[in-house]
Amino acid sequence: MNLTQIKFSKEEISLLNQGLQHSIEKPLDKYWIDLIMETEQAIQKLDAKMQDPYRILAAKKLKQIGTTGNHCNITAKRKTYNLKNLKGKLEKENAMITKADKGKIYNKDYMVKVRDFLNNNNFQTLKRNPNNKYQKLITETLKQCDLIIHKK
């Protein structure tokens, strides 16, 4: 439900309808080298006799991905373009997108709702940020696990 005066295009509405958790596929050139290297690393872990047949299969599949990847790139570029337009419209109108039960509301109204929620539910502000303490504990524990995670 759009509670603002912002007009969205059909493509922008389609993108919004995919949900807040929807992710846009990266262009193939951003991950192509990593995909090839990770495939080869996985093949090297196989028995020596099985490596060459799997390299042939992997090469065919990678070639297939490479030739069909252009369509995905065009779609991803279009979605990225629409996402930038959406973001610009929202920033211009000082609006935001929230989960469906809250709809699209203005930042000011949202902040009032958040403050009311925090004040009415006995939240307390901590005197110190506890993250540093936990990060030190995790680091010390990892240092003791040299057999699992090498120090380098």
Calpha distance 26→8 (Å, rounded):
24
* Structural contact between residues 96 and 104, judged by C-beta atoms closer than 8 angstroms: yes
pTM score: 0.46
Taking residue 8's Cβ as centre, other Cβ atoms within 10 Å add up to 17
What is the per-residue pLDDT for 143?
A: 78
Residue type at 25 in one-letter notation:
E
What is the per-residue pLDDT for 71?
A: 59
What does the chain look like in DSSP terms, one character per residue? -B-SS----HHHHHHHHT-TT--PPPPHHHHHHHHHHHHHHHHHTS-HHHHHHHHHHHHHHHHHHHHHHHHHHHHHHHHHHHHHHHHHHHHHTTEEE--TTT-EEEHHHHHHHHHHHHHHTT----SS-THHHHHHHHHHHHHT-TTTS---
Largest separation between any pair of C-alpha atoms in the chain: 67
What is the per-residue pLDDT for 94?
A: 87
pLDDT in tens, the chain (152 residues): 777 888 999 999 888 888 877 878 777 777 788 888 899 999 999 899 999 999 999 999 988 887 776 656 778 888 889 999 999 999 998 888 877 665 556 778 888 888 888 888 988 888 889 898 999 888 888 777 766 666 66
Calpha distance 43→108 (Å, rounded):
54
| Nearest Cα residue to 9 out of 84, 65, 77 | 84
What is the per-residue pLDDT for 100?
A: 63
Token pair, residue 95, equals 């609006």
Domain boundaries, the chain: 10-143
What is the per-residue pLDDT for 75?
A: 81
What is the per-residue pLDDT for 88?
A: 93
